């Protein structure tokens, strides 16, 4: 089973700043099978990025994904107040789907 490790656990930033979130896999993941989700308190997760770098419908272009192999990154170019949330990466492989433990982006 592929283990996804996200870092940092918490990111304290101010609105307008750039956020860089990391997701590292214990073994290689096909880019097609790497996605990112945003979750706010009391809400279900929301798809942000799929295929490592494709934005989901309605997702602003300040969100971008990159990476390949074992290292993937979610970047929020300029944080808006509504972007403070928890972010999860997720992968699929051999009929098993796994999530990272999440990175919380909080207001500094």
Partner 1 sequence: QEQLVESGGGVVQPGGSLRLSCVASGFTFSAYGMHWVRQTPGKGLEWVAFKRFDGSNEYYADSVEGRFVIFRDNSKNTLYLQMSGLRVEDTAVYYCARRQWDVQGEYFDLWGQGTLVTVSS
- Extract the runs of DSSP E, i.e. beta strands, from 1-108: 4-7, 10-13, 19-29, 34-39, 46-50, 54-55, 63-76, 86-93, 96-99, 103-107
Question: Smallest distance, Å, CB 87 to partner 1?
Answer: 11
The answer to whether residue 59 forms part of the interface with partner 1 (CB under 8 A) is no
Contact by Cβ (8 Å): 19, 76: yes
Residues 34-53 close enough to bind partner 1 by CB under 8 A:
34-35, 37, 43-47, 50-52
Question: Smallest distance, Å, CB 53 to partner 1?
Answer: 10
Rule CB under 8 A: which residues touch partner 1? 1, 32-35, 37, 43-47, 50-52, 54, 56, 88, 90, 92, 95-102
């Amino acid at each position: 089973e592929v283990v996804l490790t996200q870092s940092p656990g918490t990111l304290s930033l101010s609105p307008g700043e750039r956020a860089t979130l990391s997701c590292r896999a214990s073994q290689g993941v096909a880019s097609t099978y790497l996605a990112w989700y945003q979750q706010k308190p009391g809400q279900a997760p929301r798809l942000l990025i799929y295929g490592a770098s494709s934005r989901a419908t309605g997702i602003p272009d300040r969100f971008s994904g990159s990476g390949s192999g074992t290292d993937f990154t979610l970047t929020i170019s300029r944080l808006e107040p509504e972007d403070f949330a928890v972010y999860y990466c997720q992968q699929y492989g051999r009929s098993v789907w796994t999530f990272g433990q999440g990175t919380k982006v909080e207001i500094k």
